[in-house]
């Protein structure tokens, strides 16, 4: 693991690293904010999964999250959104919603994507293990959040691993990739045409099956340009209501899909996680 940069911020440290990922079979970069308390004791850790086209840096630069990570003394980890590098397959059409920058936090089974696109295992297992052994964090106090494709990632990962993640939140998540163009394109490309394979990565489907409930908050902007066609939060509400799953959903009037929306409510999300992380 090689440190690429370090900046002091709000008293703590904003760090960026590169490491060789066995799971993804390529070099990966990630960012970590460590609050000041790590000098004295380990702290809880919140993972942030970014959306389409992002790297680990968008959240670090645009969300204004570090001040609240410092306030609540929580470490923030931001991975990249797909495998990267010379040999990594991309969408042959060069689109921005599939391939590089669009890993959808799943394990691909279809060639040529199955070699590198194993973002689910990377986030849940490999990166988490690396963080837990490399930084002063409390592994039993882990939470996850994300935006858009990363909101989908956070919801699905937490729903499948309520033993690992104490709480989950999302901004403008793709709530049911099985039922929107972004998701159908990605699920077909990474998993093939057998729809039965898609359910394991669909938050609305997973919430109906969830045996263990965990605290879940979702914020959605009402002026989001992707709301109706791609995000479909109504499918998440309905599934949560049917399953008796307590979902704290907020429709935020007039906000769009941008990081300006995220910045406006990131304090509330980190505060939400802090309650369940005892921080």
- Is cis: bond before 45, omega within 30 of 0? no
**Segment 67 to 86, residues that bind its own copies, using CB under 8 A:** 67
- For the bound state, the minimum distance from the C-beta of residue 271 to its own copies, rounded and expressed in Å, comes to 14
Per-position x/- string for 180-219, each x denoting binding to its own copies as judged by CB under 8 A, each - no binding:
----------------------------------------
Which of residues 14, 50, 81, 118 is near its own copies by CB under 8 A?
A: 14
Which span sits near its own copies by CB under 8 A: 1-9, 38-46, 147-155, 175-183?
Answer: 1-9
Token pair for 105:
């936090």
148 is catalytic: yes
**Segment 90 to 129, residues that bind its own copies, using CB under 8 A:** none
Q: Three-class SS of residue 145?
A: strand
Q: What's the rounded Cα separation, in Å, for the pair 200 and 156? A: 8
Judge residue 191's burial from the number of C-beta atoms within 10 Å of its C-beta, 0-12 exposed, 13-18 middle, 19 or more buried.
buried
179 is catalytic: no
- Angstrom CA distances, 270 to 70, 74, 134, stand at 10, 9, 23
Beta bridge partners of 34: 13
Number of residues that bind its own copies (CB under 8 A): 23
Q: Does 53 engage in binding with its own copies (CB under 8 A)?
A: no
Q: Does 10 engage in binding with its own copies (CB under 8 A)?
A: yes
Nearest by Cα to 45 from 247, 246, 267, 278: 278
Token pair for 95:
């689109």
**Site residues (CB under 8 A) for its own copies?**
7-11, 14, 61-62, 64, 66-67, 221, 223, 254-256, 258-261, 263-264, 267
Kindly list the catalytic residues. Answer: 148, 224, 257
């Amino acid at each position: 693991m090689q440190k690429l940069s370090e900046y002091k911020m709000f008293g703590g440290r904003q760090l960026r690293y590169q490491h060789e990922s066995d799971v993804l079979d390529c070099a990966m970069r990630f960012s970590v904010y460590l609050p000041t308390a790590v000098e004295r004791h380990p702290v809880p850790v919140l993972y942030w999964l970014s959306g389409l086209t992002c790297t680990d840096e968008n959240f670090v630069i645009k969300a204004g999250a570090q001040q609240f990570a410092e306030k609540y003394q929580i470490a923030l980890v931001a991975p990249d959104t797909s495998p990267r590098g010379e040999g990594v397959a991309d969408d042959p059409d060069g689109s921005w919603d599939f391939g590089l920058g669009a890993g959808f936090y799943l394990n691909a089974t279809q060639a040529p994507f199955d070699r590198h696109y194993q973002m689910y295992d990377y986030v849940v297992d490999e990166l988490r293990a690396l963080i837990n052994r490399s930084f002063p964090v409390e592994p039993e106090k882990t939470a996850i959040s994300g935006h858009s494709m990363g909101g989908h990632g956070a919801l699905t990962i937490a729903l499948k691993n309520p033993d690992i993640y104490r709480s989950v939140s999302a901004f403008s998540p793709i709530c049911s990739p099985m039922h929107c163009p972004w998701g159908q394109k990605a699920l077909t490309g990474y998993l093939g045409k057998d729809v039965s394979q898609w359910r394991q990565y669909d938050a609305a489907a997973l919430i109906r099956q969830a045996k263990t409930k965990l605290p879940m908050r979702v914020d959605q902007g009402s002026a989001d340009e992707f709301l109706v066609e791609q995000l479909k939060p109504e499918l998440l509400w309905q599934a949560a209501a049917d399953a008796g799953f307590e979902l704290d959903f907020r429709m935020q009037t007039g906000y769009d899909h941008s990081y300006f929306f995220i910045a406006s409510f990131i304090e509330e999300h980190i505060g939400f996680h802090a309650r369940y992380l005892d921080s």
